């Protein structure tokens, strides 16, 4: 087992916004509350306690969790954490994720590992308090095509619902019908080792023995992380949404989230950053079985987009009070909902998630809700010992692994060639020679300057073409080394992207079995803010 790290900046896979945030660039300070450093959690928990320890919020949260865990074989650690949430000195660290089939991409594991490890680090630093890792299931999302597949061994295992019309509602309520076919294909792919049998058992019990996607996902996440005290919360709950009614009412009447987030988005764009989410006038959906559509206001009346559902102002406010579960916050309001119902200190997410959180600080301030610390989840590249040996034999450094394929190959070909393929000295010499010709033309006849320039461009282009031809010839000569470099990088960066965004955890569980998650928990350090390379 060996570990390396690389700065996020040197991976070339993260946005300027995230790189600047990690560098604590001053221009971004207005868009977040406190930077993720261990000392900053002290004032954060004081601020959160003042907001949260009132009006029976803790009692409601504990009651909801106990209801949601009634049919779940929760570990002693998880049950203890649920009880601890009833105490004023207990706080959460939270990550959220879609209900991807069989966890989807690898980074689902990294999000939760980061959350569990941060909770442990906080307990060591602040022993008079308790900290609970929470996974917020995104049960109300409705983009089925984003979650209905996972990749193993370069193959896509996709779930196709028998009833197409049921895809429009909250994905958490989707029936697990049709997953028997995925199970058969997946089982045939992974073989019959002990680790494969465990994966099959998890899939079968999660998706073939639970009625809907939310229950299946809760079962699987609990099986993977329950022993570490992870608490899984489904926000699609009447009691929790009842606490959020004042904020949803204000959204309907004043369009508060749009006004605040537009201001922040414009400020981010002014600093040169791309905006992750463009707000709508009202950032609430109407939610029923098989339906999740946005709410629109016009001339004091409210409509559901593309549906024959309308209310007067008084009617929609009465419905909100009576049935808050029928109202679903979208991507811009969900963070506020989470922070209203949880004693949360920190949100852990990927680069894209943190980007839209940066649009929300002004909105939180307007709503008088503490803005959490934002932490970039751990990112990891896992390589086998054999792959690491290949890398070393090919003399590829860790930073070079992250180069684009053609850049890496060109660099290595130049390094291992017995001839100098870099014609930069010749180009520089040529430029100097033409500088003398420019001076001669200036003194004699300025009309020759254009001809000199044209000749310079032509000859530099000729050298560039010659360099490319030499490089191409040398690649052919070193075909074996080139193919081995390309093969290694393609193994570690499938589809020319980060491994964690493409491959499913089952590929690595087949290899490392029950050691996989403990190894991640041991080696990933949430507050180091580095990209990890693990050689297992």
Neighbours of 245 (CB within 10 A): 14
H/E stretch holding 461: helix 449-477
Measured between alpha carbons, how far is 191 from 460 in angstroms, rounded to an integer?
Answer: 57
State the pLDDT at residue 456: 76
189-198 long-range contacts, CB within 8 A, separation 24+: 189/152, 189/153, 189/155, 189/157, 190/152, 190/506, 190/510, 191/510, 193/510, 194/513, 195/509, 195/510, 195/511, 195/512, 195/513, 196/510, 198/509, 198/513, 198/514
DSSP state of 332: T
CA max distance for the chain: 94
Classify 296 as helix, strand or coil: strand
Neighbours of 161 (CB within 10 A): 16
Strands 155-158 and 90-97: unpaired
Neighbours of 463 (CB within 10 A): 15
Three-class SS of 396-436: CCHHHHCCCHHHHHHHHHHHHCCCCCCCHHHHHHHHHHHHH
- Tokens 């049935």 belong to 323
In terms of Cα–Cα distance, which of 127, 128, 94, 125 is closest to 111?
A: 94
For residue 411, which phi and psi values (nearest 5 degrees)? -65, -45
Measured between alpha carbons, how far is 432 from 437 in angstroms, rounded to an integer?
Answer: 9
State the pLDDT at residue 356: 94
pTM of the predicted structure, to 2 decimals: 0.89
CA-CA-CA-CA torsion for 24, 27, 32, 35, nearest 10 degrees? 10
Neighbours of 200 (CB within 10 A): 17
Neighbours of 53 (CB within 10 A): 13
Q: For residues 122 and 131, is the Cβ–Cβ distance under 8 A?
A: yes
Helices (H), ranges, 232-350 = 238-254, 256-270, 313-322, 334-341
Classify 295 as helix, strand or coil: strand
Over residues 58-81, the pLDDT tens digits come to: 999 999 999 999 999 999 999 999
H/E stretch holding 197: helix 194-203
State the pLDDT at residue 165: 44
Query: Which residues of the chain are modeled with pLDDT < 70?
Result: 163-167, 417-423, 427, 448, 463, 466-467, 470-478
- Tokens 């003399």 belong to 395
């Amino acid at each position: 087992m060996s570990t390396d790290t690389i700065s996020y900046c040197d991976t070339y896979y993260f946005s300027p916004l995230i790189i600047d945030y990690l560098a604590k660039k001053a221009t971004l300070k207005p868009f977040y509350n406190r930077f993720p450093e261990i000392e900053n959690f002290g004032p954060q928990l004081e601020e959160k306690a003042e907001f949260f320890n009132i009006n029976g919020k803790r009692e409601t949260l504990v009651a909801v969790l106990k209801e949601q865990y009634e049919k779940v074989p929760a570990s002693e650690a998880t049950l203890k954490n649920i009880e601890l949430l009833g105490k004023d000195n207990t706080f959460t660290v939270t990550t959220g994720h879609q209900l991807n089939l069989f966890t989807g991409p690898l980074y689902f594991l990294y999000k939760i590992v980061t959350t569990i490890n941060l909770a442990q680090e906080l307990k060591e630093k602040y022993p008079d308090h308790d900290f609970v890792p929470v996974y917020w299931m995104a049960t109300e999302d409705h983009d089925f095509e984003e979650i209905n597949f996972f990749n193993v061994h370069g193959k896509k295992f996709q779930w196709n619902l028998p009833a197409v019309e049921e895809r429009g509602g909250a994905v958490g309520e989707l029936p697990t019908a049709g997953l028997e076919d995925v199970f058969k294909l997946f089982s045939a792919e992974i073989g019959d080792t002990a680790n494969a049998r465990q994966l099959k058992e998890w899939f079968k019990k999660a998706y073939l023995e639970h009625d809907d996607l939310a229950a299946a996902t809760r079962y699987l996440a609990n099986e993977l992380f329950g022993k570490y005290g992870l608490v899984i919360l489904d926000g699609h709950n009447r009691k929790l949404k009842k606490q959020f009614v004042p904020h949803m009412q204000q959204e309907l009447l004043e369009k508060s989230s749009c006004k605040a987030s537009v201001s922040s988005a414009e400020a981010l764009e002014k600093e040169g950053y791309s905006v992750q989410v463009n707000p709508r006038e009202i950032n609430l959906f109407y939610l029923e079985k098989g339906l999740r559509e946005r709410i629109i206001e016009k001339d004091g009346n409210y409509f559901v987009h593309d549906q024959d559902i309308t209310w007067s102002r008084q009617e929609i406010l009465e419905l909100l009070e009576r049935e808050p579960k029928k109202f679903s916050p979208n991507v811009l309001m969900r963070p506020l909902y989470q922070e209203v119902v949880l004693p949360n200190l920190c949100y852990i997410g990927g680069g894209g998630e943190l980007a839209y959180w940066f649009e929300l600080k002004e909105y939180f301030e307007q709503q008088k809700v503490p803005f959490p610390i934002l932490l970039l989840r751990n990112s990891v590249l896992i390589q086998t010992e054999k792959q690491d040996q290949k890398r070393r034999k090919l003399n590829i450094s860790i930073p070079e692994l992250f180069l684009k394929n053609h850049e890496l190959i060109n660099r290595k070909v130049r390094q291992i060639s017995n001839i100098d393929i870099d014609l930069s000295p010749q180009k520089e010499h040529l430029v100097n020679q033409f500088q003398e010709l420019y001076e001669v033309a200036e003194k004699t006849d300025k009309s020759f300057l254009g001809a000199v320039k044209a000749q310079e461009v032509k000859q530099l282009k000729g050298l560039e073409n010659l360099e490319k031809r030499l490089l191409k010839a040398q690649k052919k000569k070193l075909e074996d080394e080139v193919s081995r470099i390309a093969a290694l990088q393609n193994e570690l960066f499938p589809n020319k992207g980060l491994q964690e965004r493409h491959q499913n955890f089952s590929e690595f569980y087949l290899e490392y079995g029950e050691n996989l998650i403990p190894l991640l928990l041991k080696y990933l350090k949430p507050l180091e803010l580095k990209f990890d390379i693990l050689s297992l």
